[in-house]
Amino acid sequence: MIRVRFAPSPTGYLHVGGARTALFNYLYAKHNGGKFILRIEDTDISRSTRECEEQLMESLLWLGITWDEGPDVGGSCGPYRQTERTSIYVQMVEELIKLDRAYRVYAYPEEIERLHDDLLSQGRPPHYDQEMLESFNTQERKREFSLNNLNPVVFFKMPRKEYRLLDLIKGEVIFGEGAIGDFVILRSNGQPIYNFAVVVDDILMEITHVIRGDDHLSNTLRQLAIYEAFSTSIPLFAHVSMILGSDGKKLSKRHGVTSVEQFRDKGFLPEAFFNFLALLGWSHPEGREVISHNELIDSFTIERVNSSAAIFDETKARWMNGVYIRETDLERITDLTIPFLIDANLITEEKAVANRKWLRKAVDSVRKSVEVLSEMPDRLKLYFEDTAVEPLKVENEDQRSVFKGIEAFKNRIEYLDTWNGEELVRVIKEVLKEAKPDRKLFYMSLRHVLTGSEEGPELIDVIYLLGRNKTLNRLERALRIP
Ligand code: GLU
């Protein structure tokens, strides 16, 4: 059974990079009928908060990424928050000490720092080994520690040999012999260090594949050595290349919007963003771009994850979102649009419910021109707000005939029995036949009178949606009817 995990540290929002890592894990698990586990890596107590944890989960759920095991849903390998697993780490440290793969050091932090500086000043690499560290472990020192209730730190005995990793994305990665020295796995405050906790968790949670950002590649060396010390099987690793901004630099806040929450607030559809994220470093075998959730699950394989960096192209994200806005069920787009209209004070919740049918049609009339839902209020405001109407000019023959046409149109719709698109089309045809205005100018002027703009939704939709009163009011002002 394939088991993968997403292991965020709850120290901030879920950013594009983290979301993409979560997504690749999710897709891989679902594609293979495996399990996707959410583990909260909150060992950095000063920076981790429950609020961030909740936000992370909310962002994942918004995207449509659900987990089979995690701190909220539980599971057989819990707990799923590292701060709740301290006793497990301590026990595993004991095991390594028993196996003679780790050892206690009764030294104060300053002493270890000094050792580090001494090594450097001797022109040696700052690599610790057991001999130098255990020189602190005098009987006296041990007594001092126990009298003062202090704990030793525990170091891992790093084998001085070459490690090779066959990464599923990067290919073979070689960590040269003696690249690092012995390192701390348990601090004197009883907290494990990150590399140790991750390995313990991945072993006990029976993780088969570690899919994560390649910024973790340098941690992998330590992790490989710890797996080896426990003589357990090592998961397969897939280090995903980083995401760059369109300027070729590592994606960061400088590039503007980068958290999932911000994309949601801008009016990205979760399914569009899910699709977009999947293409950040992965490509569909047939080069398709607009791919649904289930199709992504069906077609996702690690082989198609690119080993070079992905470029985050917001223009493409917006384009893709526009496609989803046009193609997604209108009811849903209407639902998602309403909060933006309420925020812009164009509508109240009650009115949105009462005029649902009308609103749906209004949304439909503009959705072709929208890339993100936050543009909806601007596109729809013509139906709500009173636009400034300029009186029609009558300075030449063409303008005079358009004036007459618009006047005739007004007169006819005033008494129209049925207010619908077909009737409106019929009326316009009659007017064009009788008053014979310049067609192009007629349409342009009518649109301008009704919307204050040269472009916008289909004219018939505009008239229909404005309704008789608003339409007449705007026409009368253009015709200078008091
Ligand atoms: N907690 C790490 C992070 O947030 C992830 C560790 C891992 O995936 O191994 O970057």
Question: Which tens digit of pLDDT belongs to each residue from 263-290?
Answer: 999 999 999 999 999 999 999 999 999 9
Q: Domain 397-478 class?
A: mainly alpha
List beta partners, residue 3.
Answer: 35
Average pLDDT, stretch 299-305?
A: 98
Domain span(s) for CATH 1.10.8.70 in the chain: 329-384
Give the Cα separation of 184 and 418 in Å (integer): 81
CB of 167 closer than 6 angstroms to any ligand 1 atom: no
Amino acid at 66: T
Fold entry, domain 3-69+244-311: Rossmann fold (3.40.50)
Q: Which two tokens stand for residue 107?
A: 């030294």
Domain span(s) for CATH 1.10.10.350 in the chain: 397-478
CB of 7 closer than 6 angstroms to any ligand 1 atom: yes
Question: Taking the chain, what is the end-to-end CA distance rounded to the nearest angstrom?
Answer: 78
Task: Residue 433: name the closest of 396, 477, 401, 471 by CA.
Answer: 401
In CATH, which of 1.10.3720.10, 3.90.15.10, 3.40.50.11750, 1.10.8.70 is domain 329-384? 1.10.8.70
What share of residues in the chain are helix, strand, coil (percent, to 5)? 55, 10, 35
Question: How many CB atoms are located within 10 Å of the residue 10 CB?
Answer: 21
Minimum CA distance residue for ligand 1 atom 7:
7
CB of 235 closer than 6 angstroms to any ligand 1 atom: no
CB of 41 closer than 6 angstroms to any ligand 1 atom: yes
| CA 395–ligand 1 middle distance (angstroms) | 71
CB of 9 closer than 6 angstroms to any ligand 1 atom: yes
Q: Hey, which of 40, 196, 198 would you mutate to test ligand 1's pocket, going by the most ligand atoms within 8 Å of its Cβ?
A: 198
Q: Given this model, what pLDDT does residue 338 score?
A: 98
| CA 41–ligand 1 middle distance (angstroms) | 7
What's domain 85-240's architecture? 3-Layer(aba) Sandwich (3.40)
| CA 270–ligand 1 middle distance (angstroms) | 24
Cis peptide before 152 (omega within 30 of 0): no
Q: Counting atoms of ligand 1 from 1, which one is nearest the CA of 198?
A: 9
Give the Cα separation of 119 and 114 in Å (integer): 9
Average pLDDT, stretch 361-387?
A: 95
Q: Given this model, what pLDDT does residue 165 score?
A: 97
| CA 156–ligand 1 middle distance (angstroms) | 20
Q: Is the pLDDT of residue 297 over 80?
A: yes
Q: Is the pLDDT of residue 253 over 80?
A: no
Average pLDDT, stretch 20-25?
A: 98
CB of 212 closer than 6 angstroms to any ligand 1 atom: yes
Q: Counting atoms of ligand 1 from 1, which one is nearest the CA of 8?
A: 4
Predicted TM-score of the model (pTM): 0.94
- Residue 255: pLDDT band (50, 70, 90) is confident
Q: Is the pLDDT of residue 102 over 90?
A: yes
| CA 474–ligand 1 middle distance (angstroms) | 60
Minimum CA distance residue for ligand 1 atom 10:
8
Average pLDDT, stretch 10-27?
A: 97
Q: Hey, which of 39, 81, 200, 216 would you mutate to test ligand 1's pocket, going by the most ligand atoms within 8 Å of its Cβ?
A: 216
Q: Counting atoms of ligand 1 from 1, which one is nearest the CA of 9?
A: 4
CB of 392 closer than 6 angstroms to any ligand 1 atom: no
Amino acid at 478: A
Q: Given this model, what pLDDT does residue 256 score?
A: 80
Minimum CA distance residue for ligand 1 atom 5:
7
Q: Hey, which of 4, 6, 9 would you mutate to test ligand 1's pocket, going by the most ligand atoms within 8 Å of its Cβ?
A: 9
Domain span(s) for CATH 3.40.50.620 in the chain: 3-69+244-311, 85-240
- Residue 257: pLDDT band (50, 70, 90) is confident
Q: Which residues are catalytic?
A: 253
CB of 216 closer than 6 angstroms to any ligand 1 atom: yes
Q: Counting atoms of ligand 1 from 1, which one is nearest the CA of 223?
A: 9
List beta partners, residue 213.
Answer: 240
- Residue 172: pLDDT band (50, 70, 90) is very high
| CA 204–ligand 1 middle distance (angstroms) | 16
CB of 207 closer than 6 angstroms to any ligand 1 atom: no
Residue located via tokens 């009558």:
394
| CA 281–ligand 1 middle distance (angstroms) | 19
C-beta of residue 260 within 8 angstroms of C-beta of residue 14: yes
